[in-house]
Chain A
Amino acid sequence: MRELVIISGKGGTGKTSLTAAFAALAAETSNSVLCDADVDAADLHLLMQPEVQRRTDFMGGSKALITPDLCTGCGTCRSLCRFDAISERLTVDPLRCEGCGVCVDFCPTAAIAFPVQRCGEWYLSETRFGPMVHARLGIAEENSGKLVSLVRRQARQLAEERGSELILTDGPPGIGCPVIAAIGGATALVIVVEPTVSGRHDMERVLDLAAHFRVPGMICVNKFDLNLEMTEAIEQVAAKRNGTLLGRVPFDPIFTRSMVAGKTLFEYGEETPTRQRVREIWNRITGSPAMHPPGIVDCKTTIQ
């Protein structure tokens, strides 16, 4: 079983639109599992319209809660809290509470409770392209990395149960906690880059991260015709750093139009050159050495 994670560093480069298009292509030949690991601002479900089969609460960390009746107002909690989460009136600001429990343990009258928080929920669903694991982190919540790890674990379990060869994971933007949780142990990454100064800058940081965690990265330039010079510069940087070049996708309003229709690129309108390009990119991904590392045995040949 393999897991392909689609990330970008910079947001809004087309991760989710491409993940959905890949899901449509993957469904033509194999039974894959879809996973939305962008739990912070999950969008894949808008194109997949999953039918939720099971809904489970995600319990994250705990937060301090002062019981006024037991509190003597000594202020120990406030002086020990390093996160400025306790006000002068000795109430806890849940948005600042880090969940370290120091105040709980050092309160001389044991007046501080530490209830576990429900930080969101996750779903097992069915879609027209196969099963999907996705989640919704609560607003302003922490522990996005934990929830990402959870949905990926569930996707893996589901893939084992169903005998799926592939997990297709839509990753979060950035390089921090949720991204690190999304790429650890993945078979390979598709990094979707747009040809802008920020796209290039952010790709370099993501490549650093991929190298740090030793996950092979493949590069796809989206909206390449917005700046051809930058596209070439990006491809040079990527190649120099051993990022496999997958190809270029043009700026095409069909992505927005199909999104408005709640469909993938391959379900909306006519056969177009853009579709052909995405198909070629998908073939390069599935045929890439990165997706066929030693140790994974299946019917497909590895290196041509």
Chain B
Amino acid sequence: MIISVASGKGGTGKTTVATNLAFALGSRVELLDCDVEEPNAHLFLHPVFERSERVKTPVPLVDESKCTFCKKCSAICRFNALAVVGKRVLVFAELCHGCGGCLLVCPEGAISETGRELGSLNFGRRDAIGCISGQLRVGETMAPPLIKRVRAAADPEQITLIDAPPGTSCPVIAAMHGADFVLLVTEPTPFGLHDLKLAMAAVKLLGIPAGLVVNRADIGDDQVFAYAEREGLPLLLTIPFDRKIAEAYSQGKLIVEELPAWRERFIDLYRAIETIVQGSTAAVCANS
């Protein structure tokens, strides 16, 4: 079971939901922090990190002694990562997407590959809960390949909870693609609603069943609730604005630890997701 926790708008409570859900489940669960630009899950789950792995993406390395400066490499590169200027080949490594086109097209075999560091994967545990956190190198632009590496490191035998980045563009898609369920988290404000609609469009594009958590449910207005009802987006949990929750969050504490009554609510949330996923799988089987 892969559950991706996403939102559109930032700061609505994705990490809160993902970490509390992981902690409430307690075992057979792995939390993937795919918000690699600003990974925060570890600040709440407090895992002990056991090892760290550097992640690289391939970039070309040109052997100018073999190069005839034919410019085929710079012609094939759609990302302008190579330029041939006189008797020099300039490689702009930060623009390279690692497609390998230049390597394939070079008639002299003058191009090999080296790596550009994207960031790191950090592997940790909080008791029986696994945690893999991706961290983008400061200055690196490309988050999606690192997100894919975090996803690839997941243990398929466990429940996978993904803490996704905000937005609706390629990093979010990398964090949602192939999930069994997307749990959308929003707040009932005009910004929250606007970005929820965008996130819903992404979920629909991917064809993944989804459910909604409304955080700080008593601020703002009721437009988010009306939208969810119109869209048939099941409301699975509401979390009120409570100064105690906000303060616990600010200190890096989990709601389920501070207010134990919430443990059962998060477990119920998981059960509700399970029921929806089983239902949609059954529907797919019945149709095929």
Contacts and interface: CB of A to CB of B under 8 A. Distances in A.
Contacts of B99: 82-83, 98, 100, 102
Contacts of A198: 15, 38, 40, 43-44, 252
Contacts of A121: none
A212 B138 contact: yes
Interface string B139-175: 1111100000000000000000000011111111100
Q: Which of B170, B190, B243 has the most CB of A within 10 A?
A: B170
B267 interface: no
Contacts of A212: 138-139
A230 interface: yes
B43 A201 contact: yes
A141 interface: yes
A12 B190 contact: no
B191 A105 contact: no
Nearest to B15: A198
A173 B144 CA distance: 16
A198 B42 CA distance: 9
A275 B195 CA distance: 27
B38 A208 contact: no
Chain B binding surface, main DSSP class: loop
Given A196-B249, A259-B189, A41 B168 contact: yes
Given A11-B166, A105-B101, A197-B250, A256 B189 contact: yes
A8 B10 CA distance: 10
Nearest to A209: B138
A171 to B, nearest CB: 11
Interface of B: 8-12, 15, 35-38, 40, 43-44, 76, 78-79, 97-101, 104-105, 136, 138-143, 165-173, 177, 187, 189-191, 194-195, 198, 201-202, 205-206, 219-221, 243, 246-247, 249-252
30 contacts: A10-B10, A10-B11, A10-B40, A11-B9, A11-B166, A40-B169, A41-B167, A41-B195, A43-B190, A98-B97, A98-B99, A139-B202, A141-B169, A172-B167, A174-B37, A175-B138, A176-B36, A176-B143, A177-B143, A196-B249, A197-B251, A198-B43, A199-B250, A202-B38, A208-B138, A209-B138, A209-B139, A227-B251, A259-B191, A262-B190
Interface of A: 8-13, 16, 40-41, 43, 46, 61-62, 80, 82-83, 95-96, 98-102, 105-106, 137, 139-142, 144-145, 172-180, 194-199, 201-202, 205, 208-209, 212-213, 226-227, 230, 253, 256, 259-260, 262
Given A80-B100, A102-B104, A174-B166, 13 more contacts: A41-B195, A43-B194, A82-B99, A105-B76, A139-B202, A141-B169, A145-B141, A175-B37, A198-B44, A201-B38, A205-B37, A227-B251, A262-B190
